[in-house]
Amino acid sequence: MEIPVWFEITSMVVLTIILIGDLLLIRLRPHIPSTKESTLWVVFYVALALLFAVLLGNVGGWQNAGDFITGWALEYSLSVDNLFVFVLIMAQFAVPRRLQQQVLMVGIIIALILRGLFILVGVAIIENFSPIFYVFGAFLVYTAIRQAMPEGDHDDEVKRENFIVRVLRRRIDISETYDGSKIRTTVDGTRMWTPMVIVFITIGVTDLIFAIDSIPAIFEITTNGFLVFAANIFALMGLRQLYFLLGDLLDRLRYLHYGIAVILGFIGIKLILHALHVNELPFINGGQHVEWVPDIDNMVSLGVILVSMTVATVASLVASSREKRAEKRKAPVGE
């Protein structure tokens, strides 16, 4: 069932208005959100995504709604890994805590624009070159293996950020200190950029780097550009609040990378199987489709995503709790 054009346009307009309203709210009232506030916002954006799925199901078919839910869950799960790097970026640039909401929001908007362009290119490639699924699948399996052995991965991200900083500082004048949330300031009578502009760009570009993993993955769920972009919007919209909600809990999620590795590996294999289904390469099965290859339903994908993230999270929290109890038992009496 086709998704009506009016629904696609209306959805994008409404989501744009929500993003702008969210940005203005942060701009007018910069503050450190409480746990309660962050929780309410996360619940709001999750509820908004589920409401969107229900509306989509009624006007565009429940198959599309199911694909959106699976794609959104996939993007949301993979985007959690971004939070670890966001913490490093905030620390590296010493961003004041009360300004971090605005930094994340602007960075996310930049990321959405870049992801939109990425998705357009991806859709065009898929429509004209189906063997790209082999490439996507192999890349995701490789990424899954790296994710399962992540030593230094986040350090690599910091190195990329340092490279970005060096390039920017060579091109433009940047002050040494922040001036509130301003990106332009005056120092000794000279107009300069503040470090805030570097942080905005670094957050946006870093998220795009993560999109290199997640965008190919969601194309296995659906090749509908609207659904892919909508899933990315809803995943990123709730990311800022999740950053403040999890807070110090991120340090305790030691096994999260294993859950993400399982998801990426599963989707990568699923992409390769899909590539075999639509095979056009002459050196594989004589250029014919491989019919005997199993076709894995998207609901199975959704189950793998949810179970992987749940097991990784619970295992992390249990291990952290055991360590704390062990430290208490070892601590001398009276401390």
pTM over 0.85: no
Instruction: Please check whether residue 149 is in contact with residue 257, taking contact to mean a CB–CB distance below 8 angstroms.
Output: no
Element (H or E) spanning 185, and its range?
strand 184-187
| C-alpha distances out from residue 62 to 11, 15, 68, 187, Å | 17, 21, 10, 57
**Residue scoring higher pLDDT (44 or 83):** 44
Phi, psi of 216 (to 5 degrees): -55, -35
- State pLDDT tens for residues 304-315: 888 988 898 888
Residue by residue, DSSP assigns 6-44 as HHHHHHHHHHHHHHHHHHHHHHHS-----HHHHHHHHHH
- Rg over alpha carbons for the chain, rounded to the nearest Å, is 22
Give which of 87, 86, 96 is closest to 177, Cα–Cα: 96
Which amino acid belongs to residue 47?
A
Distance CA 319, CA 232 (A): 32
Match 């990329």 to its residue by tokens.
160
Distance CA 272, CA 135 (A): 8
- Tell me the pLDDT band of 152, cut-offs 50, 70 and 90: very low
Distance CA 262, CA 315 (A): 15
Phi, psi of 223 (to 5 degrees): -105, 10
| pLDDT of 57 | 93
Phi, psi of 10 (to 5 degrees): -60, -45
Give which of 47, 62, 104 is closest to 240, Cα–Cα: 104
Question: Which are the contacts of 13, defined by CB distance < 8 A and separation ≥ 6?
Answer: none
Which range, 46-50, 102-106, 183-187, 188-192, is most confident? Answer: 46-50
- Tell me the pLDDT band of 163, cut-offs 50, 70 and 90: low
| pLDDT of 56 | 94
